[in-house]
Amino acid sequence: MSIYVNSKKRTTGATLIIFGASGDLTSRKILPAVASLLDQDQLPNEFSVIGVARSPLGNDGFRNLVRESATNIESIQTFIDNFHYIQGDYAAISTYQSLVALLDSIERTRETGKSRLFYLATVPDLFSTITSLLGQSGLSRNDTSSFTRIIIEKPFGADAASARSLNSEMHRSFSEEQIYRIDHYLGKETVQNLLALRFSNAVFEPIWNRNYVNNVQITVAEHIGVGHRGGFYESAGALKDIVQNHMLQVLSLVLMEAPALMTAESIQNEKVKLLSAVEIPPIPDIVNRAVRGQYVAGVISSEEVKSYRQERGVSPTSQTETFVAMRLGVDNWRWAGIPIFIRTGKRMAKRETQVVMEFNRAPHLPFTGGSARQLGPNRLILRIQPEEEIKLIFGAKVPGQDYNIRSVAMDFSYADTFREVSWDAYERLLLDALLGDRTLFLRSDEVIKAWEIVDPIQHAFADPNFPLHHYAAGTYGPKESSRLLGASGHYWNNI
Ligand SMILES: NC(=O)c1ccc[n+]([C@@H]2O[C@H](COP(=O)([O-])OP(=O)(O)OC[C@H]3O[C@@H](n4cnc5c(N)ncnc54)[C@H](OP(=O)(O)O)[C@@H]3O)[C@@H](O)[C@H]2O)c1
């Protein structure tokens, strides 16, 4: 049986309204999260869900989707009448009129209270239309006895300018406190553990700076390709899909200063300060700091996979990057001069998200044995997925008469250490939004800062002369990514 970590917190009665009810994210993540929360008795009896989309699903079709998402059908079955569906176009005011009527009826008959959580899990082009029509229909109002909140999926804008204008459009109907911008990486236990590791231990913080750290490496490697989302990926690419959000979030948690309190505001303030210090290179210099790649056919887990350009929905001459590696820097007292290497790619040899803090080598090795000279540096490896673990790599004497030293690992595994089951990121974030806890959501200025870092790189990549290196699926990306590190005598930590 799963044991939930913060099972003491209870949310009040509410209705969750999902825009994108017939979509991929809803069936793969949102409905399974709702079903699991119901199964774990984390939601009150006075809870309802309304799905909204154009497909003619009807209540029955939507309820079937819910049943398919549940691992425990019985717990869903007793609740299934509380799932409703509205068929309608998001650009039509009539859809919102139907929503007002259905909400009134549910809230009256089931006494759920007027608390409403809207979830925008739909195409980003419609985010501002939906928020504006919610506002016009009186559905964005917050009153003191209930709440009205809105979760918004990524991408939040396509650059800093569009993110600013989306913010101001949303702010016409919703206040900043009502908006919950989701980045599911922040819902992962190990990402949250970055803060626990750094700020609950006295041993790491004194060496967490330019005096001891030689370089930092963040890798988000995926072995999957673009699947059926080729059309979407063509307009995104690795930079917008992963770097702007997940990677810069992890980077800011790893490198930021200690927050005064574990509150949303305190943590978000520190993240914004850190992102503001990320060095933004002049556009002509980006070619020396960034490598972009695209996968061609290769072999993954003994299976042949096609090239990116052969995927459904992808142009045969596509220039979209499926891999990015970059050297970044942070201009502050703690990190000045320390290279921060990041890389992400699809169809890589392995699925792995990890952060590596590589420390300076010992200033002098008094051992005469040859192996000591080849000893690698101390590294602290924070693995985020698929396994959640922390490894410390250090030198140890090999048993025997000679003083041979070898790198060894000390391991901490989440799964082996804790009996408690980790929350799925969407379960955690959905419940946080119902509880009104914004700590793991993004504030508007954070999103803008992240775009300000990514925008010049997007600009450089848009130049047809910017090299696009091909790499075989099932490898660690183009060799130019190793050269990027090699230029300063560094190398990627193996994944
Ligand atoms: N899928 C993922 O793995 C994933 C991961 C992270 C973030 N996201 C984000 O989540 C959001 C949704 O992605 P998705 O992959 O689930 O998209 P999707 O499968 O294309 O679903 C889009 C949904 O929006 C509805 N819709 C679109 N236009 C509409 C309109 N004019 N009126 C009414 N309904 C409309 C569709 O309904 P009908 O088809 O019934 O019209 C469908 O339910 C996006 O912001 C995406 O970036 C997705």
pLDDT digits (tens, 9 = 90+) for 245-293: 999 999 999 999 999 999 999 999 999 999 999 999 999 999 999 999 9
Distance CA 346, CA 128 (A): 30
- The token duo for 217 is 């490496």
Mean pLDDT of 6-13: 66
CA of 297 to the centre of ligand 1 (A): 29
Q: How high is the pLDDT of residue 4?
A: 38
CA atoms within 13 A on the CB side of 274: 22
Q: How far is CA 58 from the centre of its chain?
A: 32
Q: How high is the pLDDT of residue 220?
A: 97
Q: How high is the pLDDT of residue 307?
A: 97
Pocket probe mutation, ligand 1, options 17, 25, 90, max atoms within 8 Å of Cβ: 25
**E-strand spans in 204-256?**
213-221
- Residue 1 confidence class, pLDDT cut points 50, 70, 90: very low
Spatial contact of 436 and 197, defined as CB atoms under 8 Å apart: no
Of 246, 364, 459, 470, the active-site residue reads 246
CA of 176 to the centre of ligand 1 (A): 23
- Residue 2 confidence class, pLDDT cut points 50, 70, 90: very low
Q: pLDDT: is 445 or 406 the higher one? A: 445
Spatial contact of 90 and 128, defined as CB atoms under 8 Å apart: no
Spatial contact of 474 and 298, defined as CB atoms under 8 Å apart: yes
Q: How high is the pLDDT of residue 76?
A: 87
- Residue 400 confidence class, pLDDT cut points 50, 70, 90: confident
- Residue 20 confidence class, pLDDT cut points 50, 70, 90: very high
- The token duo for 439 is 């700590």
Ligand 1 pocket, residue 121 CB under 6 Å: yes
- Name the 3-class secondary structure at 101: helix
> Is residue 84 among the annotated active site residues?
no
Q: How high is the pLDDT of residue 5?
A: 42
Helix-strand-coil split of the chain, %, nearest 5: 40, 20, 40
Shortest-distance atom of ligand 1 to CA 124? 45
Answer whether residue 370 shows pLDDT above 80.
no
Spatial contact of 303 and 474, defined as CB atoms under 8 Å apart: no
Task: List the domains of the chain with CATH numbers.
Answer: 14-153 (3.40.50.720), 186-420+443-486 (3.30.360.10)
Answer whether residue 360 shows pLDDT above 50.
yes
Which secondary structure element, helix H or strand E, spans residue 385, and what is its range? strand 379-385
What's the mean pLDDT when you consider all of the chain? Answer: 93
| Beta-strand relationship, 83-87 and 389-397 | unpaired
Pocket probe mutation, ligand 1, options 18, 29, 31, 54, max atoms within 8 Å of Cβ: 54
Mean pLDDT of 379-383: 96
- Name the 3-class secondary structure at 53: strand
CA of 379 to the centre of ligand 1 (A): 41
What confidence tens digit (pLDDT) does each residue in 279-331 have?
999 999 999 999 999 999 999 989 999 999 999 999 999 999 999 999 999 99
Shortest-distance atom of ligand 1 to CA 89? 32
Ligand 1 pocket, residue 288 CB under 6 Å: no
Distance CA 187, CA 394 (A): 31
Answer whether residue 401 shows pLDDT above 90.
no
Burial of 211 (C-beta count, 10 Å sphere; 0-12/13-18/19+): exposed
Q: How high is the pLDDT of residue 369?
A: 63
Residue bearing the CA closest to ligand 1, atom 2? 25
- The token duo for 280 is 């933004």
CA of 448 to the centre of ligand 1 (A): 23
Residues whose CB is less than 8 angstroms from the CB of residue 275 and which lie 6 or more positions away in sequence, other chains included: 248, 252, 446, 449, 450, 453
| Beta-strand relationship, 14-19 and 116-120 | parallel
Residue bearing the CA closest to ligand 1, atom 41? 54
Ligand 1 pocket, residue 154 CB under 6 Å: yes
* pTM of this structure: 0.94
Which secondary structure element, helix H or strand E, spans residue 93, and what is its range? helix 93-110
Answer whether residue 21 shows pLDDT above 70.
yes
- Residue 227 confidence class, pLDDT cut points 50, 70, 90: confident
Q: How high is the pLDDT of residue 371?
A: 67
Mean pLDDT of 110-129: 93
Q: How high is the pLDDT of residue 3?
A: 33
Q: How high is the pLDDT of residue 223?
A: 94
Q: How high is the pLDDT of residue 494?
A: 80
